[in-house]
Amino acid sequence: MAEFLDKLKDRLDKGITTVNEKSRELISRQKIRIHLTELRAERELLVKELGRLTYESWEPSGGLGFVAASGDGRGKGIEDDSLPDQWKESVFTVLRRISGGELKNLLLEDTARQFKVTAKTLYDEVDKLIPDSEKKGQNLQWLGRVLGKSGLSVKKASRRIDGERETVYVFDRKKTAAVLEYIPEYEGGAESAGGDSINPGNPDALIKKCRKIHEIDIRISGLEKEFKAAPGK
């Protein structure tokens, strides 16, 4: 009887050991699978972001044509509302001065890491640099488009100031200064050479996205090999 019980115990122990090993193998494979899914999703987002940055750097000489839906559901062409470089440069001029330590009285917050300014305050300061003869409908929405397409490290937030809700732009000080260095200053007498061109915009951002995608591809390749070699198929 004792011998039977010992054999039964050995079988149970072996069975438990086998189950535990199989469980660990399945868990290990599941972790690899989840990690692969996360990396592929991250890669997809980076590719989309890279495409957006590349598109925003592309400046056809004749202006981009966009298509909007008309009332009957059919597409209709509308002209690009991009503004001359001098108007956009006025935004960058103000930001260069702020980044350089000037115009501190305009800021809601000013630290070594970031500075905050309301959209209205920034727009009013930019408006001072634009001759009256060239003011053709620029507004806060226009300012938002310029900032959004500039490659600047800026976030938009909403804040109640003096009882009114206002848009506040939050700039990363270090990244903003770095990007502004790559944005060429406006030259009033310069003429366009024509043809399609790539505006340097923020090359660092493009390079970083490409490098990150490459790193993820290497990690995905390694995990795929690890998954194929893992036991428990």
Q: What is the pLDDT of residue 11?
A: 66
Residues near 94 by Cβ (< 8 Å), separated by ≥ 6?
103, 122, 125, 126, 129
The DSSP line for 189-218 is: T-----S-EE--S-HHHHHHHHHHHHHHHH
Give the integer Cα–Cα distance in Å for 105 and 97. Answer: 12
Give the integer Cα–Cα distance in Å for 47 and 213. Answer: 7
Which is nearest to 87 in space by CA: 152, 148, 131?
131
- Beta sheet of 114-118, edge-to-edge order: 109-110, 114-118, 164-172, 154-161
Which residues, in sequence order, are bridge partners of residue 26? none
Q: What is the pLDDT of residue 196?
A: 40
Neighbouring C-beta atoms of residue 69, cutoff 10 Å: 9
pTM, two decimals, is 0.46
Residues near 112 by Cβ (< 8 Å), separated by ≥ 6?
173
Give the integer Cα–Cα distance in Å for 24 and 20. Answer: 6
N-term to C-term CA, the chain: 39
Per-residue pLDDT of the chain (233 residues), as tens digits, is 666 556 655 665 665 665 556 667 777 888 888 988 999 998 998 898 888 777 766 544 333 333 333 444 443 433 344 444 567 888 999 999 999 899 999 999 999 999 999 999 999 999 888 877 777 777 888 888 888 887 787 898 988 988 899 999 999 999 888 888 877 665 544 333 333 444 445 667 778 888 889 888 888 988 888 888 877 65
CB 203 within 8 A of CB 182: yes
